[in-house]
Amino acid sequence: FRTMVLTNGTPLSPAKTDFIMANTDVFCDICLNVPGIEQEDWALKSGFNPKIHSILLRNLDYLHQQTKIPVTMLVNTITEFQ
């Protein structure tokens, strides 16, 4: 039995990434829901404080360097258009 990790990327610290990569017999995929890559767009769409955007980028960079399993990225957001 293997499972997928679903995350918005902000809590996916390097330590958690290392744990996932050390246990690829349990984890089969990482699915990221990142509604934007630019800081202000991301903060607006995610509802997070823009100050933690740098944490997201650090985590995504580390994941990119360390990944041994498939990683997918989805954009799942509600945006109001005026």
pLDDT of residue 79: 60
pLDDT of residue 75: 83
Going by C-alpha positions, the residue among 43, 1, 46 that lies closest to residue 25 is 1
The model's confidence at residue 78, banded by pLDDT at 50, 70 and 90, is low
What pTM, to 2 d.p., does this model score? 0.87
pLDDT at position 82 over 90: no
Residue 37's alpha-carbon distances to 23, 44, 45, 75, 79, in angstroms, are: 28, 11, 10, 10, 15
pLDDT tens digits for 32-72?
A: 999 988 999 999 988 999 999 999 999 999 999 999 999 99
